Each structure stands twice: as C-alpha cells, then as structure tokens.
Amino acid sequence: MACCGAAASTALAQYANSIRGQLHGLELCMDFPMYTVPLGTLMEMTRLEPHEVMKGKGLLVEFDRKMGKAVFVSHQWLEADHPDPDCRQIRVLQDALRTVKSMRSIPVDVVSETLNHGTPLPTSELLSEPLFFWYDYFSCPQKEEQTTGHKRLAINSIPAFVDRCSFFFALVPVLENPDGTNAISPGSWHGRGWCRLERTCRELAQNHDWVVVKGPEDLELISGAVASTRAGGGPVGEGIFTVAEDRSKLGPVLMTALKRKLMSLLDAQDFPGYRAFLNQQHALFRGLECDALVPVPGFEIDLKSPWRAMNFFHQNGFRSVSDKDSCGWMPLHYAAVNGDPALVQDLLVLKADPDQGTKGIHPAFGFERGMLPLSIACLFRNTDLIQFLVSAKAKVTSNVVIHGPLHCAAAQSTRESMRILLEARCSPLEQNSFGGTILQMAAYYGSSEAIDELPRHVNTPLNASEALHSAALGGAGAEVVHRLVEIRADVNIQTDEHFTRKPLMRAVYTLLTLQHRFYKVTPFSEVMYHAKGATPLMVAMLCCNHECAAALIAAGAQVNLRNARGCTAADFAIGRSLPEFLREAFDGRVEACRRVSLLARGWVELSF
C-alpha cells in the first residue's frame, strides 16, 4: 500500500481534496495518433521502413486499449538517418519475443533483486491479450520537410504514448554500426537524451517498471528507482543529442508528464509520493529551461519570516521542521532532494537537525532507513547543498547499511562533490556494512569521475581489482573497465567472497547459495552461487553484461580460469545466444572484442 498522510488542516490536504475525482480532466494529451504494428506484423519484418511507407502499405494500426496491450520500444539509432539498417536490433527483439513464449516469467534484474524491489513479470501478463508495438521510426513521421508539424505533435504525445503502453522495452543489444565507426550498448542508450526522455516518462507513468532486452535470451525487469539510476542514467537535459536544438523541445514534454504524475498522486492522497516527485524537479529538469511547478495556490510571502521554509511547508503539507510523514521522512529530507541551500538554511534556522536520518524506506526512492540529508543531497547531485551542509558541520559519515554520504557521492555525484567530502575528512577507504568500498560503489554505478578522483586522496594504491566485479555486476561498461585497469586492476582476480567479506555479506552469500541449490534460481542467486573464485569476466557473463565482458577480454581477461565450482567463463556461454564478438573471443579470436571495447569507450564522440 502506498504511504500517505497529511494533516487535514494543511493547504496541501485541502488542495488535494478540492481536486479529488477530477483526474479525468488531466489525461495526458495525445496530439498525434498512436500508430503501432501488431505482433504478427513485427515478427514478419525483414526490413525496417519509415512511418510514411508503413502507413502507405496499410501496416500501421491506430491503437486503442480495447484492442489489447501495447509495448513501447525505446532504442538507440545506429545511423543518423536510419535506426537499424540491417534489422539487427529488430531481429534481437523478434527472437526475444519468441523466447518469452517459453518463459514463465521475466526475472527482476540483479540490482532490483538485491534491494528486494519488485517481483518477476509473469509472461502470461505479456501474452494474455493481442500485442501492439510502438517504435519511433514507423510510429512517428520521419520526412521532416513534409511533416514538421505532425512530428512536433508526435513528440508532444510521447508521455501519453508511454502511459498508454502496458509494457516498456529498452532494446539495448551491444552492436556496431555497419561501417564500424560506432557501437551502441545499454550504457550508450542510458546516455542518449531522447532515450532518457522515454525512460523518464515511463518512471513517471502509472506503471513504472520496464524491461531491458539485452539479447535474444537476455531479458530482465527493472523495478524501483535505485535500479533505474545505475550505470549511466541521468537527467534528460544532460543527455547527448545529435541535434542540439532538440534539447529545448523536451522541457515542456517532460513537464506534462510530471504534472500528470503529481496530480495523480494527490488524487490518490499519496502525499509522500507527491513530495518525492515535487522536490525532484531540480534534478529532473537539470539542463533544461523550465519554470518549477508550484501546484498549491494561496501562499503569501512575508519577508520578515523564513519565507522559503514557509512556502515549502505550504507546498509539501508540513507545519513544522519536526513533522514526519508516514514514510518516516521529515521536511529536511525532502529539502535535500530539492537541493536549494537557501531553503535548507531557513529550515536550520527553524531548528531542523542536519544529522537526522530517515525513519523509514520511501517507496519512491527505495534507499534504506537512516539516510542523512547529506547522503540524499549526494544522490541527487546537489553540489551547492553538499557544500552548504558540510560548512554547517553536518555529519559526513553514517552507520547506514549501504548508502553513507561518500558512497552516495561515488554513485551519483560529480568530481566536485567527491572532493568536498574527501576534503571534509571522509575516508576514501571507508566500507559499508556489506564491505563495499567507495571505489566499488563508483564502479557499480559506472561513475568514471569518482574513479578518477579517489586516487588523488590516498597515499597507497587502491584495491581496484575487486571493483571490477562490482562493475560487471552493476552493468558498467568499457570506460569503467579501462579506468580501473589504468589504476592497476587485475582483470583476472578471483574472489574469495565467503571469507573476505563482512558478516552481513557472508550471511547473504550463504543464504543465496542455499536458495540456489534447494529452492529457487534467480539472477542474483546464480551470481552468488558461483561467486567464490569467480573472475570479473565470469560475473559479466552471468549478468549478460556483454560490453563489460568485451572490455575485460580486450584488457587480457582469460576465458579458461575456473571458479571454486570448476566453471569457466566459457561455461556460462554454453546454451546462450551471444554477440558475435564474444563467440569469437571464446574461440580464441579477441580482435572483435578489442574493437567493440574501443568503440564503446568512444561512443560519445562517434555516435549518431
């Protein structure tokens, strides 16, 4: 059940009651028809043709919910004028849909599973009704000189398209473009501005889970905010755009999706959820020019009072700094998400405690109880607020299980944020309750800036080798592997999980290996079962992290080393559909892996 609760006398509660039942008037506007293709048509495709051609052939269907269920397919284009000239991405999707028919469920990804977020998606839900697929190249106008107005309408309708779809697929196989000058991967998909818009619209939709399609047999369900932020995710405005002017078009589109989300949360009386998304505006719109939404009317500024705090209380349904909502979050915690140092200063004047941890797990964020305001500011990359809190003598260390301030900075923040905390005497060698180091956290989340910054603050070499396992587990790519190898990571290191970790990690290891043997096999239980003696390459293969595997092989990873259970990395390839470059590597030819690794590291400059 969603957390909710706000005092009936607050302006927020009164406003929520005044609009309750009016959500039908706030439906996302669909300015352009939702053109799709039926599953049968998609499965027969051998060539990908643009919207105008498909429409002319009568192959497009205008979707209505009464017809069945729709799937939104998000993907990266391989070339500037064609997303998939050789139909390789579409073939992966076709094969994946065939695989789904033989699966009972699509498992949650390793990150979601480790945090106990979400449950596997039963394939019966996917196959229970006719399926229709939305894919930009054939669903939206492509001949811009003829249909500029229609294309603009289609772009404005993206939030509505995503919301109307029962499922969202991120189609992210590792592929080279036909002329060998570019490679796309899950990491590059996360970095593209348009892909970030589509993903963010999904996260703001009623059903925010989404499916990653890495290969014909490699599908996983992303469930929860923590999983969504790993390995390259970020705000739309800081994404990469081939046409720079496109960035300016997307602020109003994203604002439409956010407004609908906020109103639906108020309609459901989910005040903690409303606060979570209201205060994320600074993070969501970073890099875009948008005025912040101020939904609750009626606030009058009194310059003689700490008016920023008073307005914050007005908008968020609080009456004092000591209020705590049903998720265990207080005003200062939401202000840390907001990121405004002047607001936080006002709250401190009103005697807010900068060292007060959260008292519960917020479903919109997923992080453990006990999170400090400083940790939250780090997670949302609010650098000015981080500096302010440190200057205000806020605690820079904590005893939470995973996400202390420096671990959070390593996961999500900039080089400057790392430097602020390290200069405030945070230890670069700090470990969390699982034994995870700062470097491992940076590698897990794919934070290259943190990996670069840490060595500047230690007198002895960091243990970069173990961080390679974290990179492989979290989905990081070739650039992270390269940075770790530069600071002397051994690509052939073998773990000794059971003996070297802290008691909590040993308990998890024991529990999951027993689960794997006697009860249920899951992606994370399989990793733990094979963990002892595993190399980073083995972990990458188990997690279907093909870009990371290519980078490790290119850096000298051996394919014939054995873990404690006698398995090699090649054994984990048996019976799986692998990209050609990995098949060649397991046959002793590593040139393709070297090429893919180099291209993946250069995709920012080379991609279309």
The predicted model gives 28-37 an average pLDDT of: 94
Give me the helices (H) in 501-560, please. Answer: 503-518, 523-529, 536-542, 546-554
**Those residues with Cβ within 8 angstroms of residue 525's Cβ, 6 or more apart along the chain or in another chain:** 512, 513, 515, 516
Instruction: List the beta bridge partners of residue 169.
Output: 73, 211
The predicted model gives 425-447 an average pLDDT of: 93
The predicted model gives 123-151 an average pLDDT of: 88
Instruction: Say what the pLDDT of residue 127 is.
Output: 94
Closest by Cα among 552, 559, 557 to 574: 559
Instruction: Say what the pLDDT of residue 2 is.
Output: 41
| Residue that the structure tokens 């390259």 belong to | 232
State phi, psi for 168 to the nearest 5 degrees.
Answer: -130, 120
Question: Which residue type is seen at 327?
Answer: C
Distance CA 95, CA 552 (A): 27
Instruction: Say what the pLDDT of residue 4 is.
Output: 43
Give SS3 for 47.
coil
Instruction: Please answer whether residues 238 and 286 qualify as being in contact, where contact means their C-beta atoms are separated by less than 8 angstroms.
Output: yes
Instruction: Say what the pLDDT of residue 146 is.
Output: 52
Between residues 546 and 602, the one the model is more confident about? 546
Distance CA 526, CA 543 (A): 9
Element housing 135 (H / E): strand 131-135
Instruction: For residue range 458-488, list pLDDT tens digits in order.
Output: 988 899 999 999 999 999 999 999 999 999 9
Please, what is the angle between helix 331-338 and helix 307-316, to 10°?
A: 100
| Residue that the structure tokens 């009058």 belong to | 300
Q: Vertex 548, ends 545 and 552: CA angle to 5°?
A: 135
Secondary structure (DSSP) of 87-134: -HHHHHHHHHHHHHTT-SEEPBPHHHHHTT----EEHHHHHSS-EEEE
CA 317 vs CA 12, 314, 329, 351, 511: distances in Å: 5, 6, 12, 18, 42
Distance CA 311, CA 79 (A): 48
Neighbours of 577 (CB within 10 A): 14
Instruction: For residue range 365-379, list pLDDT tens digits in order.
Output: 888 999 999 999 999
Instruction: Flag whether pLDDT at 1 surpasses 70.
Output: no
Instruction: Flag whether pLDDT at 265 surpasses 80.
Output: yes
pTM assigned to the model: 0.93
Q: Residue 226 — very low, low, confident or very high, per pLDDT cuts 50/70/90?
A: low
Instruction: Please answer whether residues 600 and 592 qualify as being in contact, where contact means their C-beta atoms are separated by less than 8 angstroms.
Output: no
Instruction: Please answer whether residues 351 and 330 qualify as being in contact, where contact means their C-beta atoms are separated by less than 8 angstroms.
Output: no
Secondary structure (DSSP) of 272-310: HHHHHHHTTHHHHTTTS--PPP--S------TTS-HHHH
Instruction: Say what the pLDDT of residue 80 is.
Output: 87
Instruction: Flag whether pLDDT at 111 surpasses 80.
Output: no
Q: Residue 452 — very low, low, confident or very high, per pLDDT cuts 50/70/90?
A: very high
Q: Is the dihedral of CA 136, 137, 140, 146 positive or negative?
A: positive
State phi, psi for 121 to the nearest 5 degrees.
Answer: -90, 110
Give me the helices (H) in 372-477, please. Answer: 373-379, 383-391, 405-412, 415-423, 438-444, 448-453, 465-474
The predicted model gives 111-140 an average pLDDT of: 91
Instruction: Please answer whether residues 326 and 3 qualify as being in contact, where contact means their C-beta atoms are separated by less than 8 angstroms.
Output: yes
Instruction: Flag whether pLDDT at 408 surpasses 90.
Output: yes
State phi, psi for 221 to the nearest 5 degrees.
Answer: -95, 125
Instruction: Say what the pLDDT of residue 250 is.
Output: 95
**Those residues with Cβ within 8 angstroms of residue 250's Cβ, 6 or more apart along the chain or in another chain:** 155, 193, 197, 236, 237, 288
Instruction: For residue range 276-320, list pLDDT tens digits in order.
Output: 999 999 999 999 989 999 999 999 888 778 999 999 999 999 999
Instruction: Flag whether pLDDT at 340 surpasses 90.
Output: yes
| Residue that the structure tokens 């939030």 belong to | 159
The predicted model gives 165-176 an average pLDDT of: 96
Instruction: Please answer whether residues 570 and 542 qualify as being in contact, where contact means their C-beta atoms are separated by less than 8 angstroms.
Output: no
Instruction: Say what the pLDDT of residue 600 is.
Output: 92
Q: Taking the C-alpha atoms of 541, 544, 545 and 548 in order, what is their torsion angle to the nearest 10 degrees?
A: 30
**Those residues with Cβ within 8 angstroms of residue 360's Cβ, 6 or more apart along the chain or in another chain:** 3, 326, 327, 328, 329, 369
Instruction: Flag whether pLDDT at 128 surpasses 80.
Output: yes
Instruction: Please answer whether residues 402 and 427 qualify as being in contact, where contact means their C-beta atoms are separated by less than 8 angstroms.
Output: no
Between residues 5 and 78, the one the model is more confident about? 78
Instruction: For residue range 241-250, list pLDDT tens digits in order.
Output: 988 999 999 9
Instruction: For residue range 141-162, list pLDDT tens digits in order.
Output: 998 655 568 889 999 999 999 9
The predicted model gives 509-519 an average pLDDT of: 92
Would you call 380 exposed, middle or buried from its count of C-beta atoms within 10 A (0-12, 13-18, 19+)?
A: buried
Average per-residue pLDDT for the chain: 91
